[in-house]
């Protein structure tokens, strides 16, 4: 099996055991400082943006209050989690080149 970047990410993701994932979700939901620590841990583990977004989404869905208020209005922690998702989605779009469409 050839070890490509995609294969490496897949192996890292598979090696992230369920209990580790649950600990990350618990840390994400603890408070803003805990969420920042969880983001740093996920970066140190070199998880790809898609995996990080999935973990954040799972955290939001596991909290009964957050799952009922999708906008996160009035909840600074939920707003921070949503902002992290948006920043990761936007970073993916920065690499997108419109090419000839910009010339119209």
Tokens linked to 68: 């009922």
Q: In this predicted structure, what is the pLDDT of residue 19? A: 76
Please work out, in degrees rounded to the nearest 5, the angle formed at the alpha carbon of residue 69 by the alpha carbons of 27 and 75.
55
Q: In this predicted structure, what is the pLDDT of residue 16? A: 63
Confidence (pTM): 0.72
> Mean pLDDT by 10-residue block, N- to C-terminus, for the chain (104 residues)?
60 67 91 92 88 93 87 84 91 66 54
| Alpha carbon separation from 22 to 41, 61, 78, 82, 89 (Å, rounded) | 13, 13, 17, 19, 23
| Residue-range domain boundaries for the chain | 9-93
């Amino acid at each position: 099996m050839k070890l490509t970047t995609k294969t490496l990410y897949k192996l890292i993701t598979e090696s992230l055991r369920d209990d580790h994932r649950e600990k990350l979700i618990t840390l994400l939901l603890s408070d803003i400082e805990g969420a920042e620590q969880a983001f740093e841990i996920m970066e140190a583990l070199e998880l790809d943006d898609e995996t990080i977004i999935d973990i954040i989404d799972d955290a939001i869905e596991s909290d009964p209050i957050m799952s009922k208020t999708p906008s996160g209005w009035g909840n600074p922690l939920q707003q921070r989690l949503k902002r992290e998702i948006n920043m990761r989605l936007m970073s993916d779009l920065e690499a997108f080149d419109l090419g000839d469409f910009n010339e119209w």
